[in-house]
Structures are given as C-alpha cells and as structure tokens.
Amino acid sequence: MYYFEKYYPLLISALLTLGAAYFKIFGDGMPTLINQLADNALSISVTLFGFLLTILTLVNSIDTRRMRFVRDMGGFSRLMTYLRVAIFSNLTLLAASFLVKYIEHRTGFDVLTIKGCNIPDYLFVFVFIFSILTSLRFTHIFISLLTDKKISDK
C-alpha cells in the first residue's frame, strides 16, 4: 500500500500524458487547450501553494490521536516529504504556466516536436496532472489526520 501511495501521482500522470500523446486526444486544439490550462493553472497553483505553506506552519501544532500515532510510528517524515513534493510541484506548475503561456515554443522549433506532438505542451500537461495529484494526496492524508473520532462517536 505504501508504494501505491508514494508513486500513484507519478504513475497516473505519466500514463494519462502518454495516452493523450499517443492517441492524440486533443488533436489540433492542443495549443488552445494549453493556453487555457495555463491560465487556470496559474490561479490553481498560487492558491494551492498558499494553502500548503499555511499547512506547513500548522502541521507541528496538530495534536490529535492519529497525529501522535504518525509521529510515534515514524511516519511524520513521510508526511513532510509529501508536503514538500506538493509545494515543489505547485511551484513547478506556476513556472511552467508562465513558460508555456508567454514563451513561443510551437513555431520554428522542430526539435521540440516528435510525431506531431509538441513536447513542451505535453510536459506541461504532465506537470499539471502531477501537481494536482500530489496536492490531493497530501490533502487527503492531512484531513484524515485532522479528523479524529471521539470515543463517544464510535
């Protein structure tokens, strides 16, 4: 279960991106999609980045039964690793959004195209999916640590 939890954002992101490239799901609409996705990714990544930084400051003050269990069993470092990965992936998404939105990478760069697929566009799709999945992974774990059933609720 640990390996699935650790690697599913990377695996799902890679599979979805490779599938989209192989089957050319977006076809000729890829540049339009990437521009719209970059606009939305800017606001999403800034919001998630702020949320995750806030959580970074709060995570040490949480004292629920589940959080004590995580600390006692040595899982706190894994939780912090997931948080760092989520923060870094959102920063990467923020930078990638600016790059694909404001730097021309589609015309005149045949070296960046393989079989009609623009590599930077598909890398951006990968970064977008990966960032969302790492943020969801951390948020899901974090919420489960915050919700501690009381004895009277059982």
pLDDT, tens digit, 9 for 90 and up, residues 119-154: 899 999 999 999 999 999 999 999 988 876 665 555
Query: Rounded to an integer, what distance in angstroms lies between the CA atom of residue 41 and that of residue 36?
Result: 8
Query: Rounded to an integer, what distance in angstroms lies between the CA atom of residue 139 and that of residue 128?
Result: 17
**108 in Cβ contact with 21 (< 8 Å):** no
pLDDT at position 110 is 72
For 2-152, list the strands marked E by DSSP.
113-114, 117-118
The answer for residues whose C-beta is within 8 angstroms of residue 146's C-beta and 6 or more apart is 62, 64
**54 in Cβ contact with 110 (< 8 Å):** no
Structure tokens at 78: 């894994």
**85 in Cβ contact with 134 (< 8 Å):** yes
pLDDT at position 117 is 84
pLDDT at position 17 is 96
pLDDT at position 34 is 93
The answer for residues whose C-beta is within 8 angstroms of residue 46's C-beta and 6 or more apart is 94
Q: pLDDT tens digits, residue range 28-83?
A: 889 899 999 999 999 999 999 999 999 999 998 888 888 889 999 999 999 999 99
Q: pLDDT tens digits, residue range 92-115?
A: 999 999 999 888 877 777 777 888
**148 in Cβ contact with 64 (< 8 Å):** yes
State the amino acid at position 126 in one-letter form: F
Structure tokens at 6: 């650790």
Residue with tokens 């070296």: 111
State the amino acid at position 73 in one-letter form: M
pTM of the model: 0.90
